[in-house]
Structures are given as C-alpha cells and as structure tokens.
Amino acid sequence: MQHAAAPNAERLVFDRALVRARLARAIRRGAVDFLLARAADDLGDRLATVLREFKLALDLGTPGGHVTKRLLQRDRLGAVVRAAPLREPTAPGLLALVADEEALPFAPARFDLIVSALALQWANDLPGALIQIRRALKPDGLLLGCLVGGRTLFELRQALASAEVEIEGGASPRVAPFTDVRDMGGLLQRAGFALPVADVDTIVVRYADPIRLMYDLRAMGATNALSQRRRTPLKRAVLLRACEVYAEQFADTDGRIRATFELVWFSGWSPHESQPKPARPGSASIRLADALGVAEIRPKDAS
C-alpha cells in the first residue's frame, strides 16, 4: 500500500472533514440524490460504448450506491471495489472500504477501470489525486468519471454576493470554485493520462423558490465547506434579499427559479504501447491539398 502526503494546510480550499460530516448527516436524514442518479445513468451509458472486459474495477469516492450498482450490472466486468468516504453496507460481489481520494491505499497498477462521480470536486489537490489514480490503473486501464463544474449554482452565487455587498458592504465565499471543463483535459495530461477527453453536461433544475434549492443542497450534503468560509450564520436580512435578487434575475414567467448544475465528464487511459500515438512531424504520406482536393498555394505564389 502507498499513501500520498496530505496537501499543505495553508493551501486547503475545502474542509474535507466537514464535507464527510455533512454527507453523513444528509444520509441519516434521507439524502436528495437526483444528481447522483443522473450521473450513474450517464456513466453506465458511456461505459457501455467501451467494448472490452475489465477484470477489476474501483468506484472511487462516489457518494451512495448508484454507480456501484451500475457497475455490478455490467456483463464484461469482474470484481468491484468501492472506496467510499463513509462506511456503508456492502452488497454481494462488492468489497467496500473507507478511503480518501487524496491518499489512495492501493498498490500501483491494481485496477483495470476506475470510475468516480461527483466526488473529486472536493479534492484540495486535484492534479495529485489524478496522478494517484493513474498510478493505481494497470497499463491501458481506463478512468471515467464526472465532477461538479465551474458554472454550477452561478445563480445562487450571484444572488448571495449581490445581497451581501448591498447589506454588509462586502461578499464572503459561499459557493465553491469548481473546475472548468476547459481545464480538465489539461489536468488529465499533466497527470500522465493518454487520450484525455472532457465534456460538459448542463442540468437546469427549477424550484418554487431559492429556499427550496438551499434545502436540497443541505440534503445532498453539498453546503458550504470552504476552509475560508465565514463561521457566523447567514444574516436573515441577507438571506431574504438574496431570495429577492434570485427571483428578480433568474425566475421564469411562472415564477419558478432556475438552478444550474454543471457536470464535467472526463476520461483518460493509463499509457500503453498499443494505444494510438500522434504521427511524427513530416511523416505524412499525402499532401493536405491533395486530401482536400484543392490547389496548393505556396507563399511565393500568394498575391
């Protein structure tokens, strides 16, 4: 087993102990899991397009059992290991353990497939976590997952910031700075993955009012867990004004407000000699002009 060193405390963005505590509270009280269910269905569909067998798979950090259930339903898959943030009941054919996505307790080249849904957005060192994941994959092993993207809850962020500036003269961080889809491909490359791909799925959920949205976020275990968050409760005046701003700026004609959730999907392969590689510069056997069926214009011929 190997364990990565914890990130420097001065650079921590998230209070991960608080993330786990709030997730545990949400599960005890009946978690709202529509996003996890959507992510599990999409992950199953994406994985179905990969026509190969995976002998050992890891579900890394995903809250709840939606993704693990989809893995256990796959035909071309052997054993499944679930590394969860909290201790949970096990299912037949499943080995479950409590593990931290930032300090994986696995030997190198252990898994053929690693999946993760709506977990890695809480990593304080996402590049480091991706490097550990790549090391835990066998050569030509696949990473497939999603995390919360940067435009998630931008409506709530704007409403809260506007209300705090108006009433208190300044805004405090309340919605996390999640990863942008444009950055994810680069992070996969930095971590050593081959054939990296990233895309985004935008989900708009409508609510009767912002309070109902906040209730759902609490029931997801997804409330503010920033290390630099304000420790005092949100003032009632700020909350009421934020609800007014939200309704003014982001309500539909029927009065219901919109809440955006952005899921950034990513995949990458542990390098292997059998994988496609880019051709060397100058190695082409046909000219681009011939392939396109057009006349080539050289610089000296240009007017």
Parallel, antiparallel or unpaired: strands 94-98 and 77-84:
parallel
CB count within 10 Å of CB 135 equals: 18
Helix residue ranges per DSSP H, 123-235: 126-136, 154-168, 181-190, 210-220
Both structure tokens of 269? 């392969």
pLDDT at 104: 92
Task: Identify the H or E element spanning 108.
Answer: none
> Are 57 and 113 within 8 A, CB to CB?
yes
- Residue 47: domain span: 10-272
Predicted TM-score of the model (pTM): 0.83
Query: Within a domain: residue 302?
Result: no
The tens digit of pLDDT for each residue in 94-138 reads 788 888 899 999 999 999 999 999 999 999 999 999 999 999 999
> Are 58 and 114 within 8 A, CB to CB?
yes
pLDDT at 89: 66
Query: Within a domain: residue 282?
Result: no
Which of 65-69, 179-183, 274-278 is least confident? 274-278
Query: Within a domain: residue 187?
Result: yes
Query: Within a domain: residue 135?
Result: yes
How far, in Å, CA of 31 to CA of 111, rounded? 30
10 Å CB burial of residue 183 (0-12, 13-18, 19+) is: middle
How far, in Å, CA of 175 to CA of 152, rounded? 9
Query: Within a domain: residue 76?
Result: yes
> Are 162 and 140 within 8 A, CB to CB?
no
Which band of pLDDT confidence, cut at 50, 70 and 90, is reported for residue 200?
very high
pLDDT at 12: 82
What are the strands, taking DSSP E only, across the chain? 54-60, 77-84, 94-98, 111-117, 137-148, 194-207, 257-269
149 SS3 class: strand
Higher-confidence residue of 11 and 242: namely: 242
In CATH, what number is assigned to the domain containing residue 130? 3.40.50.150
Query: Within a domain: residue 91?
Result: yes
Query: Within a domain: residue 301?
Result: no
Query: Within a domain: residue 289?
Result: no
CA quadruple 3, 6, 7, 8: dihedral sign: negative
Kindly tell me if the per-residue pLDDT of 293 is higher than 80. no
Residue 12 dihedral angles phi and psi, to the nearest 5°:
-70, 125
The tens digit of pLDDT for each residue in 44-93 reads 999 999 988 999 999 999 998 899 989 988 888 888 999 988 887 666 66
Kindly tell me if the per-residue pLDDT of 287 is higher than 80. no
pLDDT at 5: 46
pLDDT at 288: 63
Both structure tokens of 244? 């007014």
Radius of gyration for the alpha carbons in the chain, expressed in angstroms and rounded:
23
What is the total count of domains within the chain? Answer: 1
> Are 116 and 61 within 8 A, CB to CB?
yes
pLDDT at 3: 44
Question: For the packed helices 210-220 and 16-29, what is the interaxial angle rounded to 10 degrees?
Answer: 100
**Cα–chain-centroid distance for residue 57?**
18
Report the phi/psi class of residue 185: left, alpha or beta, with left for phi > 0 and alpha for psi in -120 to 50. Answer: alpha
